[in-house]
Structure 1
Amino acid sequence: MKRGTLPLTALRALEATMRLGQMRRAADELGVTYSAVSRQVRGLEEMLGVPLFEGPRNRLVPSAAALALQPALTEAFDGIEAAVARVQRRDRRVLDVSCLGTLAMRWLIPRMALFQAAHPGIELRLTTDDGPVDFAQRRIDVAIRVGSGPWGSAQATELFPDNVGPVLSPALMPEDQLTPQSLLGMTALKTRTRPSAWADWTSSQGLAAPIQTLEFEHFYFMLEAVIAGLGVAIAPDILIRDDLAAGRLVAPFGFLPSGMSYVALRPAGRNADAETFVDWLIEAN
């Protein structure tokens, strides 16, 4: 059967019935009546010359022919749906961005107005996540993550290095000289998302691990605790840059590379708006 003669309405009715398991549910999804779906399927059977369902109406069982058609039909209609969605999004110029939660709250969101002012035609739709990125399953144009890779088949652009160091409230600074050793007398704030942060830093200084610690479930909570003066934490400079500039925190010993980097991940294929956003991320650092 040539493409121009394919009964697309009937094939769509068959695919929906197979996928949903009932003609009535297929009719609801397609916005037609049950009898309309039934007529389309019967007409398709007559055209193909084979039965597509067996059994009573309330217990339809797909035939071998229907089972053979289903994978190709579902893949074809999924592809059409995805292509139409991409065109709609391109017309609206909506960019779906997935970002680490703390980075979004403490760095990206405070700067989003600058991006919108520079690129008023692009609307950012932001979600937060720190897990692996599956571009095939989720509608994401750019994902911002931190790590050392590899990043699989994604297009990866390094944004900035992950530099970390101890930070604390100015209220906790001693009157005499602060040394790395004297930090160990303070409460060391930790987070489950970076459990080895203190061990890595004290090892780089030739020191033992801190004794008194306080752990938080989320990185954002830990940073708020640092600002409140509950102790000292090992933090990436990108996350507390605004706090340093405002004098809410101090970093007495600077920052060292952790071996990781913040990266922008994109699916294969060219997306001009995604490229524009990634270029802006690099410049905004």
Structure 2
Amino acid sequence: MPRQLPPLNALRAFEAAGRHESFTGAAEELGVSHSAISKHVRGLEDRLGARLFRDLPRGVALTQDGAAYLAQLTPAFDTIAEASEAFSAKPVGTVVVNAETVFALKWLVPNLKRFTDAYPDVHLQLDASEQLIDIARYEADVAIRFFLAGAPDGMAELISDSAIYPYAAPSVAAQVGDDPKNLLNFPLLRDRGGDPWRVWFDGIGRPDLGALVPDTRRTRAMLAIEAVIAEQGVLLASSDNVKHDEEAGRLVRCFDHGFRQGTYHMLFGEGVLRRKPVRLFRDWLLAETIEFRSV
């Protein structure tokens, strides 16, 4: 017995309008007119015998029936899209990534060639910002942000919960040697809130030294790293942000004791994981940063 399916164009129009809760947003996504979306949706409502949207003074909103229908249709369209993409030998598209400045410059940029070599037809548009952009308004497909405490709300993946350790330029590290008391001979920089240096000294069983650490102003991570490379002090930094400077010999880990404070997460705009290029970037980034996750 053949399936009794509504017209595919009507389903596509409703599904897009439901996700955006906007006929205009659906029209822009599908490249048709607002009136075409409205016509498809009203025809679908007549066919189903149900109201899928209710009119608002400005725009529309899903009814209870509409929300329930959308919850079943969107996964079905995702499954069809993923099955169809499997026949595409080369994923093509643009992924807009917005990352905090220090992570963008110190980790992403030095590693991105591996992604572009693997997926030459996927264009990465990389921006750096200290502000938490509005993912929901599609300012980016993916945002990478540091959270000092707790996990972010919404769709997110942990990138790194790497511990922080004392790092210094080789000449400074040589003067520090094996005695943590020598750290007090240098400016102790911090790029995070609280009193991380006192926490670190407590962790090695020397709270007496931690009590001697002067109050210091927080310095932006990028500036703090560059200052330490320039032999202007010692910084408690996470190993993800200094990995390449350490490998290049510009920074040395002074002591092996570290502690965890904060995490990097990857945040996603609504629905962007339906696109294969975005999923490829997510999977690549998770694989590349596995060494920085404790679990």
- The TM tier, using the shorter chain, reads 0.5 to 0.7
In structure 2, the residue matched to 1:284 is 288
Q: Is the CA contact (8 Å cut-off) linking 1:160 and 1:282 kept in structure 2?
A: no
Segment drifting more, 176-185 vs 271-280: 176-185
- Tell me the distance in 2 between the aligned counterparts of 1:234 and 1:81: 47
The residue correspondences of 1:99-138 to structure 2 (distance < 5 A) are 99-138=99-138
What TM-score do the two structures reach when normalised by structure 1? 0.63
Contact 1:198 1:209 in 2 (8 A): no
- The residue type equivalent to 2:254 in the other structure is P
- Report how far residue 284 of structure 1 moved: 2.0
Give the letter aligned to residue 279 of structure 2. E
1:95 aligns with 2:95: yes
Report percent identity of matched pairs.
25
Gap runs ≥5 in structure 2: 1-20, 33-90, 290-295
Structure 2 match to 1:81: 28
Q: 1:83 to 1:197 in 2, by over 3 A?
A: farther
- Correspondence 1:58-73 to 2 at 5 A: none
1:101-250 equivalence runs, <5 A: 101-147=101-147, 154-174=154-174, 177-191=177-191, 193-205=192-204, 207-211=209-213, 215=217, 217-250=219-252
User: CA shift at 1:149, angstroms?
Assistant: 6.5
Partner AA of 1:116 in structure 2: T
Whether the 8 Å contact between 1:189 and 1:216 is mirrored in structure 2 is yes
The whole-number CA distance in structure 2 between the counterparts of 1:197 and 1:83 is 51
**Distance of 2:209 and 2:197 partners within structure 1:** 10
Q: Deviations for 1:172-204, whole angstroms, at most 9, x for unmatched residues?
A: 13468422222122211233x545332332332
Q: Structure 1: 5+ residue runs without aligned partners?
A: 1-73, 86-90
CA deviations over 1:18-73 (Å, ceiling 9, x no partner): xxxxxxxxxxxxxxxxxxxxxxxxxxxxxxxxxxxxxxxxxxxxxxxxxxxxxxxx
Give the Cα–Cα distance (whole angstroms) in 1 for the partners of residues 176 and 131 of structure 2. Answer: 43
Do the aligned partners of 1:187 and 1:212 also contact (CA within 8 Å) in 2? no
Note the 1:18-29 alignment, pairs <5 A.
Answer: none
Paired with 1:203 and 1:181, the residues of 2 have a C-alpha distance of: 13
Give the Cα separation in 1 of the matches to 2:198 and 2:243.
23
Determine helix, strand or coil for the equivalent of 1:131. Answer: coil
Counterpart residue identity of residue 201, structure 1: W
CA distance in structure 1 between the aligned counterparts of 2:186 and 2:95, rounded to whole angstroms: 44
Indicate which of 267, 276, 286 corresponds to 1:265: 267
Structure 2 CA distance, aligned partners of 1:171 and 1:213?
25
Which residue pairs with 1:275 in the alignment?
279
Paired letter, 1:156: A
Q: 1:219 to 1:113 in 2, by over 3 A?
A: same
| CA distance in 1 between partners of 2:249 and 2:227 (Å) | 15
Q: Note if contact 1:94-1:122 (Cα within 8 Å) is conserved in structure 2.
A: yes
Inter-partner Cα distance in structure 2 for 1:187 and 1:264: 33
Counterpart of 1:5?
none
- Summarize the Cα distance change of 1:182–1:173 in structure 2 as closer, same or farther, 3 Å threshold: same
Deviation at 1:214, TM superposition (A): 6.0
Q: Is the 8 A contact 2:197 2:210 kept in 1?
A: no
Using the alignment, how far apart are the partners of 1:189 and 1:144 within structure 2? 24
C-alpha distance in structure 2 between counterparts of 1:153 and 1:221, whole Å:
29
SS of 1:154 mapped into structure 2: coil
| Contact in 2 for aligned 1:142/1:264 (Cα 8 Å) | yes
Which secondary structure state, in structure 2, belongs to the residue aligned with residue 277 of structure 1?
helix
Q: CA deviation at 1:234?
A: 0.5
User: Please, what is the CA RMSD of the aligned residues?
Assistant: 2.9
Distance 1:264 1:139, change over 3 A: same
The alignment of Structure 1 onto Structure 2 pairs a total of residues equal to 206
Inter-partner Cα distance in structure 1 for 2:152 and 2:166: 32
SS at match of 1:184: helix
